[in-house]
Amino acid sequence: MERYDFAAIEERWAEAWERDRAWTVPRVPGGPKQYVLEMFPYPSGDMHVGHVRNFTIGDAIARYLRMRGYEVLHPFGYDAFGLPAENAAIQHGEHPREWTTVNIEQFTASCKRLGFSYDWSRMLKTCDPEYYRWNQWFFLRFYERGLAYRKLAKVKWCPSCQTVLADEQTASGGCWRCGSPPEVRDLPQWFLRITAYADRLLEDMAGLEWSEAVLQQQRNWIGWSEGLQLRFRIVDLDEEVPVFTTRPETLWGVTFLALAPEHPLARRLAERAGKLEVYEGFLSTVRRVSEIERLALGKAKRVFDLEAYAVHPLSSHPVPVVTAECVLLEHGTGAVMGVPAHDQRDFELARQLGLPIRVVVQPRDGESLDPEAMKVAFVGEGVMVGSGWMDGLPSEEARRLITADLVQRGMGRRVVHYRLRDWLISRQRYWGTPIPIVYCQGCGAVPVPDDQLPVLLPEDVDYRPTGEAVSPLASVRSWVETTCPACGGHAQRETDTMDTFVDSSWYFLRFCDPQNSRAPFDPELAAAWMPVDQYIGGVEHAVLHLIYARFFTKVLFDMNLVPCAEPFRRLLNHGMITMGGKAMSKSRGNVVDPREVVARFGADALRLYVLFAAPPEQDHEWPPEGAAAVAGMHRFLRRVWQLVTGHLEILRRGDAPEAGTTQRLAAIHRLFAAITKDYERHAFNTAIAKLMELFQEVRAAARAGTWAEFRAGTTMLLHALAPMAPFIAEELWQRMGGEGSIHRRPWPRVDPELARAARQTLVVQVNGRVRDRLEVEPDITEEEAVRLALASDRVKRSLGNKTPVRIVARPPRFVNVVLE
Ligand code: ANZ
Ligand code: ZN
Contact assessment for residue 48 and residue 107, using Cβ atoms and an 8 Å cutoff: no
Residues 513 and 392 in one domain: no
For a substitution probing ligand 1, which of 221, 228, 245 has the most ligand atoms within 8 Å of its CB? 245
Q: Are 389 and 279 members of one domain? A: yes
The closest residue, in CA terms, to atom 11 on ligand 1 is 225
Q: How many CB atoms lie within 10 A of CB 668?
A: 28
The mean pLDDT of 642-667, rounded to a whole number, is 81
- Cα 707 from Cα 606, distance rounded (Å): 31
| Residue 643 within any structural domain of the chain | no
Contact 527, 91 (CB under 8 A): no
Distance 492 CA to ligand 2 centre (A): 10
Least confident of 38-52, 476-490, 727-741: 38-52
Which value, to the nearest 10 degrees, does the dihedral of the CA atoms of residues 399, 401, 404, 409 take?
A: -110
| Percent of the chain surpassing pLDDT 70 | 97
Q: What is the DSSP letter of 622?
A: P
Q: Does residue 524 share a domain with residue 586?
A: yes
CA distance 265 to 160: 36
**What is the CA(439)–ligand 2 centre distance, in A?**
7
Query: What integer pLDDT is reported at residue 93 of this predicted model?
Result: 83
* Residue that terminates a domain, selected from 399, 417, 435: 417
pLDDT of residue 654 exceeding 70: no
Domain membership of residue 70 (yes or no) is: yes
146 and 101 both lie in a single domain: no
Residues with C-beta atoms within 5 A of ion ligand 2: 440, 442-443, 484, 486-487, 489
User: Relative to the CA of 341, which ligand 1 atom is closest?
Assistant: 31
Q: Evaluate whether residue 400 is within a structural domain.
A: yes
Q: Averaged over 79-96, what is the pLDDT?
A: 86
DSSP code string of 650-665: HHH-----SPPPHHHH
Residues 376, 287 within the same domain: yes
Quote the strand ranges of 87-136, DSSP E.
124-125
pLDDT of residue 657: 55
Share of the chain above pLDDT 90, in %: 75
Domain final residue, candidates 576, 603, 630: 603
Could you tell me if 310 and 336 lie in one domain?
A: yes
Domain-located, residue 317: yes
* 124 and 140 both lie in a single domain: no
Confidence category of residue 682, pLDDT binned at 50, 70, 90: very high
Give mean pLDDT, residues 502-526.
98
Q: Pick the closest to residue 147 from 189, 201, 194 (CA basis).
A: 194
Final residue of a structural domain among 396, 417, 438: 417
Q: How confident is the model at residue 658 (pLDDT cuts 50, 70, 90)?
A: low
Domain limits for position 454: 134-193+423-498
pLDDT mean over 253-258? 98
> Are 785 and 815 a contacting pair, CB within 8 Å?
yes
Whole-angstrom distance between the N-terminal and C-terminal Cα of the chain?
57
Kindly state whether residue 570 falls inside one of the protein's structural domains.
yes
Residues 59 and 105 in one domain: yes
Are residues 337 and 250 both part of a single domain? Answer: yes
Phi, psi at 108, each rounded to 5°: -65, -40
Do you know the residue count of the chain?
A: 820
- Using only C-alpha atoms, the chain has a radius of gyration, in whole angstroms, of 33
Q: Flag whether 201 is in a domain.
A: no
784: domain CATH number? 3.10.20.590
The answer to whether residue 283 sits within a structural domain is: yes
pLDDT at 609: 96
Cα of 387 from ligand 1 centre, angstroms: 20
pLDDT of residue 661: 61
For 348-362, what is each residue's pLDDT tens digit?
A: 999 999 999 999 999
Considering every ligand atom shown, identify the ligand nearest to the alpha carbon of residue 229 and give its number. Answer: 1
112 and 155 housed in the same domain: no
Q: Is it the case that residue 261 has pLDDT exceeding 90?
A: yes
Q: What are the pLDDT digits (tens) for 272-330? A: 999 999 999 999 888 878 777 888 888 899 999 999 999 999 999 999 999 999 999 98
Beta strands in 586-731 (DSSP E): 620-621
- Residue of 232, 243, 244, 387 to mutate, ligand 1, most atoms within 8 A of C-beta: 244
- At 115 the pLDDT is 97
- Calpha distance 603→598 (Å, rounded): 5
Three-state SS for 186-207 is: EEEEEEECHHHHHHHHHHHHHH
**Claim to verify: residue 450 and residue 335 sit in the same structural domain:** no
3-state secondary structure of 511: coil
Per-residue pLDDT, 428: 87
Residue 575 has pLDDT above 80, yes or no: yes
pTM: 0.84
**648 near 718, Cβ under 8 Å?**
no
Question: Which tens digit of pLDDT belongs to each residue from 135-151?
Answer: 999 999 999 999 999 99
Which residues approach ligand 1 with their CB closer than 6 A?
Answer: 225, 244-247, 250, 260, 326-328, 331-332, 334, 336-337, 339, 342-343, 417
The verdict on 346 and 461 lying in the same domain is no
What is the total count of domains within the chain?
Answer: 4
Are the C-beta atoms of residues 415 and 227 closer than 8 Å to each other? Answer: yes
Tell me how far apart the alpha carbons of residues 247 and 227 are, in angstroms, rounded to a whole number: 7
Question: Residue 260: nearest ligand to its CA?
Answer: 1
Distance (Å) from CA 147 to ligand 2 centroid: 22
pLDDT above 80 (res 345): yes
* 454 CA distance to ligand 2 middle (Å): 20
Is 93 within the bounds of a domain? yes
- Maximum distance among all alpha carbons in the chain? 106
What lies within 8 Å, CB to CB, of 181 at 6+ separation is 173, 174, 175, 290
pLDDT of residue 160: 83
Taking residue 100's Cβ as centre, other Cβ atoms within 10 Å add up to: 26
CATH of the domain at 37: 3.40.50.620
- Averaged pLDDT, 176-185: 81
